[in-house]
Amino acid sequence: MRPRAMTKLTFGAAAAATLGLLATLAPTADAHQPSGHKPELKRIGYFTQWGIYGRNFQVKDLETSGTAAKLTHINYAFGVVGSDGKCLMGNAPGSDPWADYVRPVDAATSVDGVGDTADQRLAGNFNELRELKAKNPGLKVMISLGGWSGSAHFSDAVRTDAGRKTLVASCIDTYIKGNLPVDGARGGAGAAAGIFDGVDLDWEWPGSEGNPGNGIRPEDKPNFTKLVREFRTQLDTYGRSLKKRKHYDLSAYVPTAPAKIDAGFEVPKIMRDFDFVNLQGYDFHVSGEKTTAQQSALFAKNDFSVDQTVNAWLRRGAPAHKLVVGMPFYGQGWTGVTGGGDGLGQPAAAPAPATWAAGSEDYKFLKELANSGTYKLHRGYRNGHAWLFDGTTLWTYDDPTVLRTKASYVRQNGLGGAMVWSLDGDTPDGELITAIDRGLSRR
């Protein structure tokens, strides 16, 4: 689940009629993609700042599992936009400097096998990411700004040109230039320089409902376009100022629902400035709903799906090669399911009990359920999703078979690659990322 970025959708009769048969068709990607354009297919994984605690998922695990070698980008979740309209680190909800750069990492837990010392300026996850990049040349790290519970202040921050300039400058100062608050021996000017290679905007959602309490305005839509332009301008200006010129990537996490796309995104304009966008490919239905349903199907008739999402963005003018398909490393679950059959589309009493949060479970634990002999594995239309059902509890999720199918879909339709939420849900040997990598590489 996305603890600070889970998206709950509602699907009405009008939306179903709009989608109709389109959800069963392959996207018309060729019409939107320049002839002969064959960029590297992206493999993007979110690393959660808080995963180092309960899950004990460390940056080193990306190396020992072989995951880092299969990624083009890591999105670090999340950078905080504060009530003052700036990127904050420290005294703000969701900010955790201890995890980011203060916490000493011992030799056994570090990527390079050398423990952090008391006098080094950069420790914690940021230093481990630096070491990971040293072992994996070409791997990029993006700072992802916002998230589900971190998007409250975007609307206020970007209302004016001055506000947008201030927000963008503060984010570049903190993450791209690496000017961190001083905390004992840690931090200071340039302490994290060179860690981040770009910015990922995770505003959920401009112009439409997200987490309760978020600022929402009709003018969010044009203001988001202007924010993207400001990020592109300032990132390019800073990149050109360096002795060795550098291009900084700019991306965003964007929704599946056509109503949310239309409320918040001027698609042709923003796509000129984005290097790529990561499409919501999960949470189509969530465990808080009263009826069980698929959460991440590739194809679905009269319902949200990956294919519907891709088509929605293509029809609004997005180039196919800039569309990266989101894929889940977790499942949505219900318990108290009645009605029999295979359990899908049936009434449920509550979210299913789980390891970290009711209704959401990491793939590595769902794999154990699938192998327990208690649950029966079911597969959906065109192998586009899977679910487990034991007669009472149902989990809908993506396993390696589903992910290979989705990766093939990405490759065959000229899309930009795959993104996953989140890397800590995979098995210790990287079973899911390997399936995606092989599907994108035809291996």
CA distances from 212 to 95, 150, 393, 428 (A): 19, 11, 29, 35
**Cβ pair 75, 103 in contact under 8 A:** no
Report the chain's terminal Cα–Cα distance, integer Å.
29
The whole-angstrom separation of Cα 63 and Cα 149 is 29
DSSP H stretches of helix in 214-266: 220-241, 258-264
* DSSP for 359-391, written as a single string: TEEEHHHHHHHHTSSSSEEEE-GGG--EEEE-S
Q: What one-character DSSP code corresponds to residue 102?
A: I
Q: What SS3 class is residue 106?
A: coil
How far CA 358 is from CA of 1, 12, 286, 308, 383, in Å, comes to: 10, 26, 11, 28, 26
Identified catalytic residue from 63, 128, 131, 204: 204
Contact assessment for residue 74 and residue 140, using Cβ atoms and an 8 Å cutoff: yes
Known catalytic residue at 209? no
CA distance 99 to 49: 7
| 244, two tokens | 């060795």
Rounded CA gap, 144 and 150, in Å? Answer: 11
C-alpha gyration radius of the chain: 21
β-strand pairing of 350-351 with 360-362: unpaired
**Contact indicator for 297, 305 with CB cutoff of 8 Å:** yes
Q: Residue ranges of the alpha helices (H) in 27-101? A: 59-64, 97
Q: How many residues does the chain have?
A: 443
Q: Two tokens at 343? A: 């359990």
8 Å CB contact between 350 and 358:
yes
Please say whether the beta carbons of 284 and 305 come within 8 A: yes
> Which of 225, 234, 233 is CA-nearest to residue 176?
234
Task: Give Cβ neighbours of residue 50 (< 8 Å, ≥ 6 apart).
Answer: 3, 96, 99
Q: Which residues are catalytic?
A: 204
